[in-house]
Structure formats: structure tokens, C-alpha cells
Structure 1
Amino acid sequence: MIWTIPCLPLAGAVMNGLLGKKLPGRAVPMIGCVSVFLSFWIAVAGFFTLLGIEEPKERLVIQSLYQWLLISWDQGRFSLELAFRMDPLSAVMCLVVSGVGFLIHLYSVGYMAGDDSQPRYFAYLNLFTFSMLLLVLADNLLVMFVGWEGVGLCSYLLIGFWFTDLDKARAGMKAFIVNRVGDFGFFVGLMLLFWTLFETSGGAVTGLSFGQLQEAMPRLITARPIWNIEVATWVALLLFVGATGKSAQIPLYVWLPDAMAGPTPVSAFIHAATMVTAGVYMIARLNFLFLSAPAALAVVAIVGGVTAFGAATLAVVQNDIKRVLAYSTISQLGFMFMAVGVAAFSAGIFHLVTHSFFKALLFLGAGSVIHAVHHNDLRHMGGLRRYMPWTFLTFMAGYLAISGVPPLSGFMSKDEILWAVFTSHLPVPGLGKALWALGLITASLTAFYMTRLVILAFAGTYRGTPEEAHHLHESPPVMTGPLMALAVLAVIGGAMGLPAPTHLPHALESFLKPVLGDHGGSDPVVHAYGMEVLLMGLSSAVAVAGICGGWLCYVKHTEIPARAASRFAGIYRMLSRLFFVDELYQFLFISPLVKLAKIAGHFDLNGIDAGVNLTSWLTTKLAVLVGWEDLQVVDGVVNGLAGVVQKCGDQLRRLHTGKIQHYLYSVAFGLFGLYIILLLL
């Protein structure tokens, strides 16, 4: 029954896509929600089926639907099957995708009410769910790649959902193009992996399933280096390029803030449960490959740390409520990449799960706010806690979780990452401690900018017009219900990964251990409980410091932000212009490519098209000349000969009068002529 988990949302997408406009109004969202809900319950059944297997190493179910590809040759054969893999990692991911996805679908019923494009919206959202479930359930790299490309396509369709708005359509195209850059690296990595395994096996490579790849790792490690760099490192780095695109890491993060152009539930789905988590999941799934390439893992950790800090600084100066959360997502993904970069794969997945809870909650809460005020600008909000109490209370749960306030879920997972980074053994001495310090600063910045967001949106008095304030209201229950469910998860979700000093079991790590192993450890001395408690206290302190800093700047002394922006004008300008990265890409890539396209267009118009047009003109003239020659010369000769023959025939016909005496005269003249000729001879 594993195949039904992704196929139910696919069926919903097909039904709404083909029949949506013919169905009654309520049927469209019902089909979309029910299909994902059923998928979630089957995933729950699969999860408990795995839990029921006593031996952890045997918690694996592979279901093959059919043989997709079979190629045989003298040395061996290559077989590829459309197969699904249910193990602890895919089970957890299925619960996140389908569970959080269902709540977002349910929320969408209220958010998209009255929109004429509901059939298209729910068809795309169901297709998005199918693609992500296909990605996490795939048993081989090619099926994973199909899901990988599927989520990229669906993100393009949903970000540019309101495509009649040119800016929104461009945002969809930007996301699609940036992800194609990353996907090119992913594809080249796949090809290099396959070719290396083919060469090192003497042409006897059998397939690309994860089990087969893990068995073939010794051959990949011992393969001939390329430019003095091991093939395993090249493959890992190329696959990581794909991950930076999907999960919005430096340098391919620029698409995610613009992805806010789509409907807010879409933003929640992309940021919490689907596309951006794909890169982290891929590295965790291929942990055996990345463990064989320590240099690549170090690159992953560094990129994650720099991205986490950089995105947090950008979030501080944003005034669009959704863009603050977008940069927050990029920053939190950086934490996940730091975790997998130090081989703490379970910690990375733990933060992925908790982040899906509180980030979906925050985005849907922001959607509830936007639904009420009809704009995104924090500067024109304020005092919304009076008008939207349920939205405010649930948003506070997400705010405290992402800020790292103990014992909420965000604190548990973030603290585990910081501990893993602090105790890591990266190839560069001191790198782990430097990344830990960077992560600690980022955690404080996170608490600061989220406090700023909450104060500007919910505290004080409403800064809009009195007429707008008169129309403010709480969202309907179909929207606040998912907020409450996610708020509960954001509060208690950390219980699945309690820290070691509590002497309580780390349920998620134990469950994932057969797949992800236990690679994030370090020296027993460093692992003393006292040190971990000290670092936990420090982590809590920086979170409180960030919250207090936000309160000080936006409640107690509101003049501080303006004074700081004036005093540090260069830094503020750099942050407000997003480190000039968009301008840099415009200068280095977009403008040259546009100019190249114009040159190519000019050459096509004035070179190729001119040549084609000249050829067609000459051909036309030649055709006219040939036509004249055919008509006047060839046809003239033929018609002339025909005329001569006809005239000769007419003259000869006159000799046949039908009178015998004339024929006798002719015979006589003929005989006389012959006689004369004979005499002359």
C-alpha cells in the first residue's frame, strides 16, 4: 500500500484539474483535502507498522510496482524499477509532508474562498504534495530525480499562480530558472556517479537503488581522482549544488524571498513541508556518500553557517511580513545544513520536523493577518491582537518556538544542532567552534527579528485608517483550526528529541538510527553533561537577549532603529539592498545573457533571416525565369512542332478528296516523277 501514499494526491490533482470546473463549488476543496488526509493516515499506518518491527535494522519495506528500464550487455545488466522505500527516514518525512500538507490544504479552503481559480489551485497543490511524497519515498536516484523536478515545476506553477500580474509571473520564472541552475549540478552529479560505477565495475553496474549505491561505495572511493580530487567528493559537491538550489542556500537563495508572490498557503507549504526541505532530505538519504567525502561535508557546514547568519541579518530590515519569514526560512535551513555538514544527520532531520511545525504556523498566521488587513506591510499594522486573538495566541507559540525559548520545539532542535557543531571534528581546526559561535549569534538575531515582527504586527495600536480598523476581524474557523493544531505541535514537538542531560530517550534519533547511523559524536570528555547544560544555558540566554533587544528597540526606545540606521548607513543600505546580490547577478549573468540574446536575435534577424529571405527572393526570381523559359521556349518548341505537323496534316488531308480520277492523276504524277528520278540517276 506504499504506492497509495503519493498516488492519492495525484488522483486528487487529476480530478480537480480535469473536472474541477464542472464540479459543485464545495467538491473541489473537498477532493483536495480528502486525498491528502487519506494519504496522511496511510503514512501513519506505515509509521506504526515500522514501529511494530522489533529489530530496528529490519524496519524497511520496499515495494516495486514494475520494471521501468532493463538494459543487458555482455558484461552485465542495468535494471531500474519504479519502487518505493518505506524506512524510518521516509516514514518521518511522509508524516511531515502529508500531515502539515493536510493542515495547509484545510487552511486554503478559507483563504481561497471566492477565488474563481480554486480548481487550478487545489490541482497544483495536490500535484505538489504528490511530487514531494514521490521524492521522499523513492527507492532509487532516478525516481527521486523525477520527484525533485516535480516539486520544481509545481513551485513555478504556484508561485506564479496569479500569472496575470507580471511581477508575480516573473517571480515564478525566477524560481524556476534559479532551480534549473542547481538541478544542472544535481544531474551532472548523477551522471558522474553512474559513469564511475560503470567503469569501476567493468560494465557490471546493476542499478541506482540506495541499497545498491551503499554497497558500491568502496568502488567510488577508490576510483581514479579527477584533478587530484576524489570522485566521491566531486559527486557530493555536485549533488550539493542541487541542494543549494532547492533549499535556497548561498549562492542560489535569491528565488525564495520572491516566492512570496504566490498565495500565502503556498508559501507555507514551500517553506515548511515540501520543496526547501528536499535538499536536506537528499543529503540525509545519501549520508553514506557524503560521509565518504569529508571535504564536501565541510563545505556543506560552512555554506549552511554563512547562509544562516546572512539571511538572519537580512530579515532584521524587512518590512514585508512574508519576506521576514522567507529570510527566516533560509536562515533555519542554514542550521539544518550545518547539522548534516557535521554528520549530525538526525539533528538536521529533527530541526526539519520542528521547523515544519512552527514555520507553517507562522506563515499561516501571517496569511490570517494579510487576509484581514489586505496588505503585507508591517509598518501599517499594529494592535492586531485585539482584533485577531486566536491568530495572535497561535502566532506567539510559533514565535517563541523559532526564537529558541525552552522547552518549545525550536529550542530542542536548534540546541541539538549547536551542540553537534560545537563537538564536531571538521577537517579544518577550529572550524566547528567558529560555526558554533556563528550559529549562536544567528540564534540571537532570530529572536530579535521575530520580536520585531510580533511587536510591529500585534502590539500597540493599529496604524492604518479608522475605516480599515473597523473592518478588521478574526479569520474563520477553517483557518484558525489548523493554526491551533500547529501551535500545539510547535509547543510539544520537541519532546521527540529531549537532550541528553534529561536522561530521557531521544525518540527520533533512536528511530532514525538504522538509516542515519550515529556519526555526530565526539570525545567523551567533551560530551560531559555539564558542558552540554552550560551550552544549553548559553543558547537560552542569547534567545532571551534577542527578545529583550527587540523589546528595547521597538517598545521602550523606538528611536533606536532610526538612529542605528543613520549611524550605520552603509551597513543598513547593504542590508536593505540584500547585500546587492540581485544587482551582482544582474551585472554578472543576467545583463550579459540578455545582451547575448539580443546579439543572437539581431544576428538571427539580420544574418540568418536575411540569408533565408535572400535565398527565397533569388529562388522566386529563378522560378519566374524558369517559368518563362518553360512557357516561351520549351512549350514554344513543343507547340511550334505541333503546329507544323498540324499544318502539314491539313495540307495532306486536302489530297484525299474521295474522287477516283484525282487519285489516278496523283498516281500518274507519282510514276512520272519516279521515272524522271530514275533517268537522272
Structure 2
Amino acid sequence: MFSDYAALIVLLPVLAFVLTLFLGKKLPSGGAYLPIAAILGSFIISFGTFLEIYPDKTVQQSWSWFAGMNLGILIDPLAIVMLMMVSFVSLLIHIYAVGYMAHDPAKPRYFAETSLFTAAMLGVVLSDNILQFFIAWELVGLCSYLLIGFWYHKPSAAAAAKKAFLVTRVGDVLFLAGIVLLYFNMSEVIVSRAFSLEPGNFILQFKSMFAAIPHIDPGQLTLITLLFFGGAVGKSGQFPLHGWLPDAMEGPTTVSALIHAATMVTAGVYLVARTFPMFVAAPNSLLVVAYIGGFTALFAATMGLVMNDIKRVLAYSTVSQLGYMMLALGTAGAVVGAEAVGISMFHLISHAFFKALLFLCAGSVIHAVGTNDIREMGGLFSKMKITATTMLIAALALAGIGIPFINIGTAGFFSKDAIIEGALEYGEVKGDMIPYGLAIVAALLTSIYIFRLWFMTFTGTPRSERHSHESPGVMTGPLMILAVFALLFGFSHYGFYDYVGRNFELMEVEIPVHEGEAFHPSDIVILLPVIVGVVGFLISYYIYYLRKLDMSKIVSSENPIYKLLINRYYEPKIAADIIGVKLTHNVAAQSGEFVDRKIIDGLIIDNTISSTAFKLGEVVRRLQTGVVQNYASVIILGIGLLVILLMLRGV
């Protein structure tokens, strides 16, 4: 039984981390094969467990920890699809990295950190309680800091790592506050006997949390879910905590692929999906999720239009697509209930395939031409046919290109269209079409920026003297595998929605759905997402392939809209100058220094505490003789006194 070894899904990459860190320099390829073998083992166990539990079983393993808490494993439909995706995509990225990082002297550290990164994300998915979830969540953040700043000798990489760590900490503090508030509310209803834990259950287990929902004050529940969503906003780069994600491109491209496709940013969406019954019970929070998601999808897409760094374009694409996932949970969740989780997660996994493919293709291009700037590329198709073709497939998937009515299309065609239709149904039921409008406009911009990138990179004449070449087989192999999934994964959507949508039913949690007439969108509504995708392609084709439009007047510092977008709405300047310098340094730091030196030390205690501490330190320092025999004598004396005290108490 594979499920009996579920803990190994996390423990194998952790073991690979330890072995690679200490032995990697003595092993081939910097010890890369240890993480690859470990993550392959995680995928095999995950896939074997899926075959065991499909279609209507779950795996629950739990061990008592402390103070009513537990350590546990929960594998249900929601978790198992994530486990398979994370382990599989991470495996392909690690294989690709063998070629990409071949000449980097710090390979052992790289592969050790990516192995731990994967283990942390798998730990998030496997957790059966919110506290354990948070611990693994924090480890994901730590690993992202280490990997974004992997080339720490570059000031830009060190600054990006710091920014990612600090910005995501804002969300993490909100998430932790939500956990604390939830704990106190659950403790209160348990003490009041309004709710009691069943034998074998623990206070912060997900099933206990969901069972307690009817007994928690609605206002408190709204606050808890908003705090949870604050954590998701930080981790998944939603507005206004999105600024760290584009700057995270300073790490190796394979790290970007891991962060943007398989790990880290998907954790925030998974948090909202995992705690979805709480959000449904707090409809105001669900509305916030919908609007933040929809706005983020459009907001990030506008910046993707003007970026010239190939990885930065893809970074804003990730922020935008994460917005779509949140939009699905917020809008579809309000009208179709638990099926919204299936819709959102289907786009999450589709996105993992085509976004990993896009980043790895970008890495292949950068590896070949030695620059990130798409303005210095061009004409690469003839020299990099595999990379160009697979990246075109990924671009088609991201743009959601397909053929409606006969249901033939890329993975993005099925997943994104379902989100847009859910937003439309929400608009019809609630009389609020704003989220639908945001989704449609974002879809148009998505198609424009991704095909702009492809045409500027692979078509036309070369715009620089670079000896480009196709990447080796260890890099192109994962590209072709991911391309197959970006093309064909969409055909699993019917079974996927049904399977993941029944997740909370298997947990015996009832989620209400809108009761009314069945939603039957008109033909034009069904066609509209594909129409805007094709229109976006034609716009890019006209401008960047046929070059029928002179962009020099548009792409100019004199154009206020272009200036606003290229400066990213001045968010970096606001964050660095106003928040970073004026607020943090000028207000907080200088105020702290004034209180410490002038008030506490000067007026209140006249340096009494500090002088006393120095004198006490001098006394203690004399006891530190450096003679081992003296230390041993003190230890023996202390143990003897402890034994005597225990005997006197009758222990």
C-alpha cells in the first residue's frame, strides 16, 4: 500500500537535501542525482496513492504533539492532485537543471536548496492541520529567500531576496494572526460546550475547523478568513503584495520555474482552496477574494505588455494567472460551491505545466544567447526549433486558444474559459459583472504580451551578433514532456472538476450552492474568451511580425501610459523611497533611537541598567575559567542537587 509510506513523500527530498549539502561536491553533477531520485520517489508514491484512493477514499494519519495539537497527514482529492503536480513538475525542472547549472561551481548548494524547497511545498500540501501547514509554509519562504539570492554576490540578487522575504512576511504575520484568532475562537466554543472535539481529533485539524464553523461568530469568521487571505496575498503575489515576484527573477531561471509553477506562489491559492468551507461561510471574504483576484489579473497583465526582460514578462504573467485562480474561488465559489475549488485547481495545475515550460524555454534561450533582453534577440527559430516550438505551445496554452463547441484546445483553453464562465455566472446571479469584465480584458492583454514575447524572440532578423544554439538533450527533453501536458491535460477537465469538487463532501462538509435555473451561456459568451485570445495574437502578429505599425511613438518616455507601465505604476519607488526610507528609517528607526537614548537611558534610568549589566557581566566572566574540570564539577554538583530535590519530593 503506497499510502502507508505517505510520509516519505516529504522525507525523501529532505534526506536528499542533507546528503547533497554535505556530499554533493564529491558526487557527479554536484549531487544532482540524489534530489532527482528522491523527488522521483515522491512522485511514484503520490501516483500510487492516487490509484489507491481514487475515486472516493482519503488517507488520514495523525500523531499527538502538544497542547491539543497534532502532526498529521491528510491526502484527499485536493491534496493528491497537488502532490502529483508538485513532484512531477519539480522532477522535470531538476532534470533540466543538470544541464542549465552544469558550469556553476555552487551546484551542490543549489540542488540541496531546491530539494528542500520541494520538500517544504510537499509538506504544505500533506498537512492535516493549519499549524503544521504554517510551519511548512514558512520553510517554503525561507527556501525562496535562499534561492532568489542564490547568486548573492550580485547586489540585485541580494536585494531581491531581501524584498521577497520581507514582503511575504507581511502576509505571513496576517496568516499567523488568523491562526491565533481561530485557536481562541475554537477554544472558546469548546469551553462553552457549544462544540466538542470527537475522540481522536485535534483542535486545529482541518476537519475540526470545518466542524466548528457554525459555532463561531460570523464577524470573527470573516476576520479569520481575511487574515488567511492576507497570507495568500503575500505568498501568491496578489495586489498589493505582488512587487516581490517580478524581482525574484534574479535567481537562476530554474528557480524561477520552481517558484512560479510548482512551489511557493501556488501555496497561497492552495491555502484558500484548503480552507474554502470557511470562506463560503464568510461571503464578504469571498467577495474580497474575487475582486482582488480579478484586479490583480488585469493589473499585472498591463505591465506584461511593456517589459523587455523575457523572465520579467513571464513573472507578471504568473501574477496575472494567480489572480485568475483567486477570481475562480471568489466568483464561482459564490454560485457553484465546492466545484469552484475544482475549477481553480484545474487552472493551477494547467498553469504549472505551461508556465514551467515557458520559464524553461526562456532559460534555454538565455543559455544560448547570453541575454534576457528580448530586444536583443530575434531570428532564433531556425537555430532553436525545439525551444521555439515548445514555447509556442506554451504561449497558445497561456492565451487559452482552442475550438469551442467541439472542445478541442490547449490546457489553458479549458481551464481559463471555465474561470471566465464562472465569473459570468456570478455576474448573472449577483448582478455584478465587474469581475467578468476584468477577466475578459486580462485575457486579451495576456494574448498580446505572450505572443509579443514569442515573435520578438524567435522571428525576424537577429538583432545582435550572438552564436545561438539549441540546448542539450537533458534540457530539451523536459521541454517536450511539458509541451505534451500543456497540449493534452485540458481533456481531463470533466473528471477533474467532479473529483476535486467532491473533496469536501468526502470530508463530510456541506457547502451550499446557488439554487436557481441552470446557467446556459449564449454562444457569443462561450466564444468571447477565444475571440479575445485570437485578437491578441493577431495584434501581436501585425505589430511584431509584419511590423506594420511604428511603435517608436508609443514606446516612448513622452507617452504617459507607457511611462506609467514601464515604471510599474511606480510601485518599486513607492516601496523603496516612501515606505522603505521615509517610513522605516526616518520615522521608525529615528523614533526608536530617540526613545532608547534620550528617554529610557537618559531621563528614566540615567544609564543605571546598562552600567549594572556591564558590572554583572564582569562578575560572570570571571567564572568562565576555560578549565574543563571546573565545568564538569559544576555539572555533577547540579545533577546531585537535582536528584536530592526529586527524592525530597518523593518522585
TM range (shorter): 0.7 to 0.9
Decide which of 34, 52, 75 is 1:49's aligned counterpart: 52
Q: CA deviation at 1:515?
A: 1.3
Taking structure 1 as the reference length, what is the TM-score of the superposition? Answer: 0.82
What are the equivalent positions in structure 2 for 1:3-402 lying under 5 Å apart? 3-21=7-25, 23-26=26-29, 28-51=31-54, 56=56, 59-64=57-62, 66-69=63-66, 71=67, 79-202=68-191, 206-220=202-216, 223=217, 230-342=219-331, 343=333, 344-402=340-398
**How has the CA–CA distance of structure 1 residues 176 and 616 changed in structure 2, closer, same or farther, with 3 Å as cutoff?**
same
Are 1:413 and 2:432 matched, yes or no?
no
The structural deviation recorded for 1:393 is 0.8
Residue 672 of structure 1 is matched in structure 2 by none
Aligned match of 1:454? 454
Contact 1:9 1:36 survives alignment (8 Å): yes
The partner residue of 1:593 within 584, 604, 607 is 584
Aligned to 1:485: 481
Deviation of residue 480 (structure 1)? 0.3
How far residue 300 of structure 1 moved from its aligned partner, in angstroms, is 0.3
Residue 556 of structure 1 and its aligned partner are, at CA, apart by 2.6
Report the CA distance between 1:597 and its aligned residue: 2.1
Distance 1:520 1:415 in 2: 23
The Cα offsets for residues 104-146 of structure 1, whole Å up to 9 and x where unpaired, read as 0000100000211111101100000100000001000011001
Structure 1's 80 and 476: CA in aligned 2 closer, same or farther, altered over 3 A? same
Write the letter of the residue equivalent to 1:419: E
Structure 1 range deviating more: 586-595 or 305-314:
586-595
Q: Does the residue aligned with 1:488 lie in a helix, a strand or coil?
A: helix
Checking the alignment, whether the CA contact within 8 Å between 2:542 and 2:549 is kept in structure 1 is: no
Shift of 1:256: 0.1
In structure 2, the CA distance between the partners of 1:138 and 1:395, relative to structure 1 (3 Å rule), is same
Correspondence 1:515 to 2:517: no
- 1:581 and 2:571 equivalent? yes
The one-letter code matched in structure 2 to 1:271 is H
Gaps of 5+ in 1: 72-78, 498-505, 624-681
Percent same amino acid among aligned pairs? 41
* Larger Rg belongs to: 1
Check conservation: 1:351, 1:414, Cα contact below 8 A.
yes
1:383–1:253 CA distance, 2 compared to 1 (3 A): same
Cα-Cα RMSD: 2.4
CA contact (8 A) 2:427 2:436 kept: no
What is the 5 A alignment of 1:494-643? 494-497=490-493, 506-516=494-504, 525=517, 527-528=519-520, 531=521, 533-566=523-556, 569-591=559-581, 592-595=583-586, 596-598=588-590, 600-601=592-593
Residues 382 and 601 from structure 1, CA distance in 2 versus in 1: closer, same or farther, beyond 3 angstroms?
A: farther
**Aligned equivalent of 1:650:** none
Change (3 A) 1:567 1:374: closer
Question: Does structure 2 retain, via aligned residues, the 8 Å contact 1:250–1:307?
Answer: yes
Aligned equivalents of 1:365 and 1:533: distance in 2?
36
Paired residue type of 1:593: T
Pair 1:615–1:352, CA change in 2 (3 A):
closer
Structure 1 consecutive aligned stretches of length 4 or more whose deviation exceeds 4 Å: 203-206, 516-526, 601-617
Partner of 2:624: none
Three-state SS of the structure 1 residue aligned to 2:65 is strand
- Aligned positions, number: 582
SS at match of 1:384: coil
SS state of the match for residue 498, structure 2?
Answer: helix
Per the alignment, in what secondary structure is the counterpart of residue 530 of structure 2?
A: helix
- The aligned residue for residue 405 of structure 2 is none
One-letter code of the match for 1:182?
A: G
